[in-house]
């Protein structure tokens, strides 16, 4: 058995998953169990050449043509790899999209975003792929912020304050961003077989507990760094637009809940439109804007 932790969960796996942070003390009752085994992928599924879903009240089954099938239940994920599938690719799907869907079914608000934490709380950065979320996260981490998550931001809205759960200690960076941040990409694994984006270990200053959420930022391109507040209605649009795996919301029946959670977050937490600037030379100015804004948010 292998024991791990991620997103505030204790995880026991029947197979090694080196992408997950190890858990030093084995839990008596893990929140999630991972196992290999057969998954019935045919019943209720259509189409053999594309991703397919089967959804019931008890489970969510997914099939990916080149990877295999995954069965998500209340406290367990079963993995059934396709013949000839890369073990690494199957694990990356497991700790990415599949784990994100598990978190959603556990009632968390999952967003396509990155996050860091200061001593006062956490900040989430939303944006389309290529918007610069990982680059900004790496730059803030180098400035002394704690790393929280990359790609999947998992928010717990059940308490008196919104909190962000720590994810996997890894960053996915394009080669030019990695070089600009003194992180040579040579020899590191690819985030996807068809992309030159590399997975970088984070190293020091990794958050290990949930943090109070201070602010949400939406990243946009522009000529010069700037920051402006978003009205709650505009923030709601951005939160819906940047859901984690947005196309699956309707299929899994989570559209209404995601809307309600996003509306609640937009009312509770300040949101900002963040223009990143046109070059890496403008990055220090962008970081200054964020740090100053987070200091003000912490005093709310």
Q: Which CATH number belongs to the domain containing residue 155 in this structure?
A: 3.40.50
Question: Do 143 and 44 lie in a common domain?
Answer: no
Last residue of a domain, one of 89, 105, 121: 105
CB-CB neighbours of 245 under 10 Å: 18
Are 283 and 206 within one domain?
A: yes
Q: How far apart are CA 300 and CA 286, in angstroms?
A: 22
Residue 219: count other Cβ atoms within 10 Å of its Cβ.
Answer: 23
Closest-CA residue to 76 (of 8, 43, 110, 30): 30
Per DSSP bridges, beta strands 211-220 and 271-275 are: parallel
| β-bridge mates for residue 275, sequence order | 220, 226
Residues 77 and 120 in one domain: no
pLDDT score of 44: 44
State whether 238 and 168 are in the same domain: yes
The answer to whether the CB of 220 falls within 8 A of the CB of 273 is: yes
Q: What secondary structure letter does DSSP report for 227?
A: E
Do 16 and 33 fall into the same domain? yes
Coil, strand or helix at 137: helix
Same domain for 127 and 229?
A: yes
Give the range of the structural domain holding residue 19, as residue numbers without chain letter: 2-105
pLDDT in tens, the chain (300 residues): 899 999 999 999 999 999 999 998 888 899 999 999 998 765 444 444 567 788 888 889 999 888 999 999 999 999 999 999 999 899 989 999 999 999 999 999 999 999 999 999 999 999 988 788 888 998 999 899 999 999 899 999 999 999 999 999 888 776 666 666 666 666 666 666 666 667 777 878 899 999 999 999 999 999 999 999 999 999 999 999 999 999 899 989 999 999 999 999 999 999 999 998 888 889 999 999 999 999 999 987
Half-sphere exposure of 176 (CA within 13 A, CB side): 5
Q: Same domain for 177 and 260?
A: yes
Helix H or strand E segment including 87: helix 87-93
Decide which of 44, 77, 105 is a domain's last residue: 105
Same domain, 82 and 152: no
CB 111 within 8 A of CB 242: yes
pLDDT value at residue 203: 78
Look at residues 73, 105, 137 and tell me which one is the last residue of a structural domain. 105
Using DSSP's 3-state secondary structure scheme, residue 268 falls into: helix
* Structural domains in the chain (count): 2
The pLDDT of residue 13 is 97
Confidence (pTM): 0.89
Residues 133 and 84 in one domain: no
Are 166 and 93 within one domain?
no
Residues 36 and 155 in one domain: no
286 and 149 belong to one structural domain: yes
Burial grade of 246 (CB within 10 A; 0-12, 13-18, 19 or more): middle
Task: Please say whether the beta carbons of 89 and 67 come within 8 A.
Answer: yes
Check residue 279 and give its pLDDT: 85
């Amino acid at each position: 058995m292998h024991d791990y932790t991620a997103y505030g969960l204790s995880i026991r796996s029947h197979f090694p998953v080196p992408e997950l942070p190890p858990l030093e003390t084995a839990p008596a009752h893990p929140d999630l169990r991972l196992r290999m085994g057969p998954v019935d992928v045919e019943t209720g599924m259509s189409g053999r050449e594309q991703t397919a879903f089967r959804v019931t009240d008890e489970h969510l089954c997914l099939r990916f043509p080149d990877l295999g099938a995954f069965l998500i239940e209340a406290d367990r994920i079963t993995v059934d790899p396709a013949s000839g599938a890369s073990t690494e690719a199957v694990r990356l799907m497991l700790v990415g999209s599949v784990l994100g869907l598990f978190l959603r079914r556990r009632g968390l608000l999952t967003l396509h975003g990155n996050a860091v934490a200061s001593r006062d709380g956490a900040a989430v950065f939303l944006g389309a792929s290529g918007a610069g979320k990982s680059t900004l996260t790496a730059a803030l981490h180098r400035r002394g912020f704690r790393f929280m998550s990359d790609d999947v931001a998992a928010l717990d809205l059940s308490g008196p304050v919104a909190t962000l759960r720590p994810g996997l200690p890894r960053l996915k960076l394009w080669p030019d961003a990695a070089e600009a941040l003194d992180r040579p990409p040579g020899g590191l694994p690819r985030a996807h077989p068809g992309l030159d984006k590399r997975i970088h270990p984070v190293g020091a200053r990794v958050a290990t507990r949930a943090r109070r959420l201070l602010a949400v930022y939406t990243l946009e391109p522009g000529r010069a760094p700037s920051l402006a507040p978003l009205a709650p209605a505009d923030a709601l649009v951005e939160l819906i637009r940047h859901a984690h795996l947005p196309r699956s919301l309707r299929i899994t029946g989570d559209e209404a809940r995601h809307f309600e959670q996003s509306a609640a977050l937009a009312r509770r937490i300040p949101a900002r439109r963040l223009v990143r600037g046109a070059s890496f030379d403008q990055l220090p100015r962008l970081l200054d804007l964020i740090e100053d804004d987070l200091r003000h948010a912490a005093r709310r």
